[in-house]
Structure 1
Amino acid sequence: MKLPPLKALPVFEAVARLNSFSLAAEELAVSQSAVSHQIKQLETYLGEKLFWRSGRTLRLTDEGRQYLEAVGSALLQIERASEQLLGREESRLRLSVFSSFAVRWLVPRLPGLQRLHPGIDLALEMSSENPVLSDRVADCFITIHRDSPAYSYELLYVERLFPVCSQDYWQKIRRELGRDTETVAAADPAMTPDEVAGFPLLSTHSIFDKSAGDWEAWYRTVERKIPEGTRIQHFSHMLLALEAARFHQGIALTNDYMLSTRTDSADFVRLPCHAVVTGDRFYFAWKTSRRRERGIQLLRRWLVDEAIAGGLRGGAAGSG
């Protein structure tokens, strides 16, 4: 078995992660010259440059990025295997998750995870819309993309959007539509798309990456366009649009997980209207090579059970 200079591998991982020779030296408690020596030794062995250096700028070469992906994962697996044999299997896990899913669905449920699996030390990492699936970013992910063949995926939720407003604003809508005289027990008739357009629409840009894209999709479901003259207020994120709706500013499109846990969900009324399926599917993703790690599998099973119990997902298997 021909191996590279093993002492240089943790040094390479630290420099690449911190993007700095000096910070890596500080973390590893060695001199900066010792770090430089180890990187040079590794580059000589591999016959490839791992970093581009230009003044104070440092970045990985293409070969360095490819090498980091493999080396970082291998070092992490060595650490996990050693902890198991030493009896330190606390399962420290970094979960990368969308802010809205974390705030509205996951965080309120975490006490249940801690009670059921006290050995899991879970750290949440806020992710962008398209997080890079990599051990450098997190140990596991909640993502809407299945674009890495190195990962396995378990379905949690198929997104649909439906209109909501605050309880007070619903009473305003009913008054303006002449429905305030109906009895409490009577079911409200469905609102037409034209009736909905008579009130301010709160739009989330990030869902379809375009202004009013969410409401355009909602009207397109019934083969309509947003009526001319409709007042639309724009927000970058669904959390903001939902908060505006909670403070009686209009009608927002939201999804199931945004209203499934928080105590303030009772502040909202789901309007008697149709829903639109966005096409986004939320998955729990983990590296296939780490499928035997107990912490990842415990977290996967807990997330699926919670998604089923909360009505986000049916009981059928959803792994990919």
Structure 2
Amino acid sequence: MRQPASLPNLASLRAFEAVGRLQSFRAAGQELLITQSAVSHHIRNLETDLGIRLFIREARGIRFTPDGERYFRAVTEALSGIARATEQVRTAVRRGKQVLRLSVLPSFGRFWLAPRLPAWAKEHPEIELRIDPSLALSDVSQGECDLAIRYGIGPWPGCDGGLLVRERLSPVVSPAFAGTLPPAPTWEDLARAPRILNATTSDWEHWLETSAGKAWKGEDHHLTEYGLVVDTVLAGHGLAMGRLWLLSDLLRTQRLVAPLADVAAPPDFGYWLLKPRQPSNPAGQIFEEWLVRQIR
């Protein structure tokens, strides 16, 4: 590893971060359990080391200089990364396990990953998997998570991404709804049902263009998340565009039915595994290899 450039004193950086966050030398000293004069001493040393002014003192307090504000953002980000890494190591030591932080879409976690987690735990009891099911994309490049799984099309900025599986698409309905259809249903037979949509309609647009060859003219209902869409269809309240790989367990157990032809999603459109360009957690490679085996 390359030796880093000369770094400022860590105690001075901590004092600077506390003053910048609290906007008070006195409050920073109270938090750090040092005197206000000691805080001032740290800030002066840091300003001398950097060759810039960090704060401007005013009658009612202090404020950043432009240089100080930019440096504060960088220092805060760096110290937050150190804190996260430290907590991860401490937790792993306490529990005797490695910790792997995984960000996934709620629908992926629920319909595909959760049923397979017992197999993961049995194979790798030494790794604690911390799963964050969220629609928001955690910043892999900034260390908010070790790995992320997202649905869409690459490339993904700031990180390395690999396509895990390309989806296949087809409308899905509940068995009860399927029982109301003719033996060989057509698109027109389904088109009278309410269509349940999530935030994006790109799956529908691709399927209609590729398979049905016509626009949708029925009633639409919008929900915020794909898992809610599937729940609504399971309850028999309409049809949705099925991501057949994701819903394979529900289709295999006949809790959902796909009565029409399926089509491949557009090229490079599917589930992607995202990871830092310079991975630091060896457990990530172990999980990636396990994930690929499960998919194939």
Q: What is the TM-score with the length of structure 1 in the denominator? A: 0.67
Aligned partner of 1:300 in structure 2 is 288
1:92 aligns with 2:99: yes
Q: Which runs of 5+ in 2 are unaligned?
A: none
> What is the CA–CA distance in structure 2 between the aligned matches of 1:14 and 1:287, rounded to whole Å?
29
SS of equivalent residue, structure 1 residue 125: strand
1:257 deviation in Å?
4.2
Amino acid at match of 2:172: V
SS of equivalent residue, structure 1 residue 289: coil
1:296 deviation in Å?
1.5
> What is the CA–CA distance in structure 1 between the aligned matches of 2:42 and 2:178, rounded to whole Å?
64
CA 1:10–1:261: 2 relative to 1, 3 Å: farther
Query: Would the aligned equivalents of 2:141 and 2:277 in 1 still touch at CA under 8 Å?
Result: no
Could you report, residue by residue, the CA deviation over 1:55-104 in whole angstroms, capped at 9, with x for unpaired residues?
Answer: 9x99x9554444555555567668888999x8987211211111111111
Please, which of 183, 190, 193 is the counterpart of residue 187 of structure 2?
Answer: 193
> What is the CA–CA distance in structure 2 between the aligned matches of 1:300 and 1:38, rounded to whole Å?
48
> What is the CA–CA distance in structure 1 between the aligned matches of 2:78 and 2:90, rounded to whole Å?
18
Aligned partner of 1:215 in structure 2 is 204
Q: Which moved more, 1:271-280 or 1:94-103?
A: 271-280
Report how many aligned residue pairs link the two structures. 275
> What is the CA–CA distance in structure 1 between the aligned matches of 2:256 and 2:166, rounded to whole Å?
21
Aligned partner of 2:224 in structure 1 is 236
1:111 deviation in Å?
1.4
> What is the CA–CA distance in structure 2 between the aligned matches of 1:15 and 1:237, rounded to whole Å?
41
1:246 deviation in Å?
0.6
Give the number of the structure whose alpha-carbon radius of gyration is greater.
Answer: 2
Q: Which runs of 5+ in 1 are unaligned?
A: 180-188, 309-320
SS of equivalent residue, structure 2 residue 265: strand
Aligned partner of 2:272 in structure 1 is 283
Say what the alpha-carbon RMSD is for the aligned residues: 4.3
Please, which of 118, 124, 127 is the counterpart of residue 131 of structure 2?
Answer: 124
Aligned partner of 1:106 in structure 2 is 113
> What is the CA–CA distance in structure 2 between the aligned matches of 1:39 and 1:163, rounded to whole Å?
64
Query: Would the aligned equivalents of 1:13 and 1:72 in 2 still touch at CA under 8 Å?
Result: no
Amino acid at match of 1:128: L
> What is the CA–CA distance in structure 2 between the aligned matches of 1:169 and 1:277, rounded to whole Å?
25
Could you report, residue by residue, the CA deviation over 1:260-280 in whole angstroms, capped at 9, with x for unpaired residues?
Answer: 346995311111223351553
% same residue = 24
Aligned partner of 1:166 in structure 2 is 174
Query: Would the aligned equivalents of 2:149 and 2:272 in 1 still touch at CA under 8 Å?
Result: yes
Query: Would the aligned equivalents of 1:5 and 1:41 in 2 still touch at CA under 8 Å?
Result: no
Q: Which moved more, 1:296-305 or 1:35-44?
A: 35-44
Query: Would the aligned equivalents of 1:96 and 1:125 in 2 still touch at CA under 8 Å?
Result: yes
> What is the CA–CA distance in structure 1 between the aligned matches of 2:53 and 2:186, rounded to whole Å?
65
SS of equivalent residue, structure 1 residue 173: coil
1:248 deviation in Å?
1.0
Please, which of 3, 6, 19 is the counterpart of residue 10 of structure 2?
Answer: 6
Q: What is the TM-score with the length of structure 2 in the denominator? A: 0.72
> What is the CA–CA distance in structure 1 between the aligned matches of 2:177 and 2:44, rounded to whole Å?
68
